[in-house]
């Protein structure tokens, strides 16, 4: 019996989807517990390549129950489209359960996200414009709509009217936009609610029962530790906690349920959106790493935006693993580094004349930090077909052991390609 959290130790896009898909085979439940459609998990398997935004990564296994927990930002439109896409591409009908307490991303949230990012212009935070920040603002201001509200028209109307009262003043006065009427939102929401109905249930009860019965449960995080609103690079963070510590809350499980925390870490760094990124590259070196990274270059799974890339950042990753409470690390994208003669690694920061290794500076200071690099020999070969650690070229083994030493957490698996089977378990 295990409850495992799979979470990111960096800025997101570490390859959590691939790792979840690979580990899901032995699980009964895969659970999304935070965030919404603002990040995509890339999965490549026998059905083809998928970028899942709303669906948990267990949907390719018919035996798995995929849960969208109360802590998520449920975009019904995206969810229904993704289910349709799976059907269209021949995937067996997945088992999906959506918490009746999950809250719904409304068109008004997407509109506010868009208008605010426009207003901020160059001072924006790199929002994916999926409505996530306005959604969570409403949730904690107690102006949100829960899934269960969709099945009580009077209550839904009243909730929308309450939420729109203040928003319409901001819409007209600040953004010079037409006001939005609650009644106009109803038909589409009620229509979506009917399509969602077969999936809605009390998922907290479901998961507690599964936990009691000793079922294996995977809790799938979105983004990474450095995007956590409390501990990350605020305000260039997301709006819900990306940490394993939040997973039992957002999923609906006891806090002591998690026994295994796999922090997914990339063998180099990548970051989508704005914010300080100490080991960021520039020029040709950046173009080359971006072109060769991931499964088809480092471009955002949600936005298609080119990802910023840099060398492995030990300071940020050590901090990310600490925040996650990692019991082990999955190191992904190791194959990507096979083109280099020598591989730079950011082992510490230089800040105000000091060398920093074990603390992670606050955002304003981070902007002034420089990376201190050490160089490891490269292996200059294709390792994507290798399936055991001992068969890796010596330089690749050394790189893994060096990273392990730097972050102080056991690297339990090494991913050498985007496909499910391209995995080395140590």
Please give the positions annotated as active site.
13, 41
Q: 175 burial class (0-12, 13-18, 19+ CB within 10 angstroms)?
A: middle
Task: Provide the 8-state DSSP code for 280.
Answer: B
Q: Which two tokens stand for residue 58?
A: 């267990």
Instruction: Give the CA count within 13 Å in the CB-facing half-sphere of 59.
Output: 31
- Give min distance, CB of 179 to ligand GDP, in A: 37
Residue 394 to residue 378: CA distance in whole angstroms: 9
Scanning the structure block, which residue is given the tokens 């589409």? 188
CB 129 within 8 A of CB 114: yes
- Give min distance, CB of 269 to ligand GDP, in A: 12
**Considering only CA atoms, which of 104, 316, 120 is closest in space to residue 227?**
316
Helix axes 76-88, 182-196, angle to 10 degrees: 40
Report the interface residues with ligand GDP, using CB under 6 A.
8, 12-18, 39-42, 44, 294-295, 301, 332-333, 335-336, 415-418
CB nearer ligand GDP, residue 163 or residue 415: 415
Beta bridge partners of 49: 44
Which H helix or E strand runs over 112?
Answer: helix 107-120
- Give min distance, CB of 15 to ligand GDP, in A: 3
- Give min distance, CB of 42 to ligand GDP, in A: 3
Task: Provide the 8-state DSSP code for 346.
Answer: E
- Give min distance, CB of 217 to ligand GDP, in A: 19
Residue 21 to residue 310: CA distance in whole angstroms: 26
- Give min distance, CB of 331 to ligand GDP, in A: 8
- Give min distance, CB of 85 to ligand GDP, in A: 16
CB nearer ligand GDP, residue 175 or residue 339: 339
CB nearer ligand GDP, residue 143 or residue 274: 274
CB nearer ligand GDP, residue 344 or residue 418: 418
CB nearer ligand GDP, residue 321 or residue 336: 336
CB 190 within 8 A of CB 150: yes
CB nearer ligand GDP, residue 14 or residue 313: 14
**Considering only CA atoms, which of 414, 422, 417, 419 is closest in space to residue 49?**
419
| Residue 425 vs residues 74, 77, 234: alpha-carbon distances, Å | 34, 37, 35
CB nearer ligand GDP, residue 231 or residue 420: 420
- Give min distance, CB of 289 to ligand GDP, in A: 12
**Considering only CA atoms, which of 44, 41, 104, 92 is closest in space to residue 68?**
104
Helix, strand, coil in percent for the chain, rounding step 5: 40, 25, 40
Q: Dump strand ranges (E) for 295-356.
A: 308-310, 312-313, 328-332, 342-351, 354-356
CB nearer ligand GDP, residue 21 or residue 138: 21
CB 32 within 8 A of CB 69: yes
């Amino acid at each position: 019996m295990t409850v495992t959290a799979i979470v990111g130790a960096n800025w997101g896009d570490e390859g959590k989807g691939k790792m979840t898909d690979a580990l899901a085979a032995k699980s009964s439940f895969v659970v999304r517990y935070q965030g919404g459609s603002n990040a995509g998990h890339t999965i490549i398997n026998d059905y083809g390549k998928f970028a899942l935004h709303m669906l948990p990564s267990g949907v390719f296994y018919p035996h798995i129950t995929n849960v969208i927990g109360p802590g998520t930002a449920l975009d019904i439109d995206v969810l229904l489209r993704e289910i349709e896409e799976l059907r269209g591409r021949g995937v067996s009908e997945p088992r999906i359960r959506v918490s009746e307490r999950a809250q719904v991303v409304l068109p008004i949230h997407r509109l506010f996200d868009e208008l605010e990012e426009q207003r901020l212009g160059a001072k924006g935070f790199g929002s994916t414009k999926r409505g996530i920040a306005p959604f969570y603002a409403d949730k904690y201001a107690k102006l949100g709509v829960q899934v269960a509200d969709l099945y009580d028209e009077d209550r839904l109307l009243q909730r929308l009217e309450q939420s729109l009262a203040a928003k319409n003043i901001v819409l007209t006065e600040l953004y010079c936009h037409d006001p939005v009427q609650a009644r106009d939102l109803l038909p589409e929401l009620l229509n979506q609610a009917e399509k969602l109905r077969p999936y809605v249930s009390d998922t907290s009860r479901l998961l507690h029962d599964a936990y009691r019965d000793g079922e294996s449960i995977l809790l799938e995080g979105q983004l990474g530790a450095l995007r956590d609103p409390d501990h990350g690079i605020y305000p260039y963070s997301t709006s819900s906690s990306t940490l394993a510590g939040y997973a039992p809350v957002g999923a609906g499980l006891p806090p002591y349920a998690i026994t295994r925390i796999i922090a997914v870490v990339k063998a180099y760094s990548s970051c989508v959106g704005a914010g300080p990124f100490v080991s960021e590259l520039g020029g040709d070196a950046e173009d080359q790493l971006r072109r060769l990274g991931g499964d088809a270059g480092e471009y955002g799974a949600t936005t298609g935006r080119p990802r910023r890339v840099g060398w492995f950042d030990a300071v940020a990753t050590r901090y990310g693993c600490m925040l996650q409470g990692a019991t082990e690390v999955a190191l992904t994208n190791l194959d990507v580094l096979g083109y280099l003669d020598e591989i730079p690694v950011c082992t510490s920061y230089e800040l105000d004349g000091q060398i920093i290794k074990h603390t992670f500076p606050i955002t304003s200071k981070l902007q002034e930090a420089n990376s201190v690099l050490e160089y490891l020999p490269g292996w200059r070969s294709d390792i994507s077909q290798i399936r055991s650690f001992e068969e890796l070229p010596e330089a690749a083994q050394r790189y893994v052991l060096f990273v392990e030493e730097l972050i102080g957490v056991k690297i339990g698996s090494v991913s050498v390609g985007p496909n499910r089977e391209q995995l080395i378990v140590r």
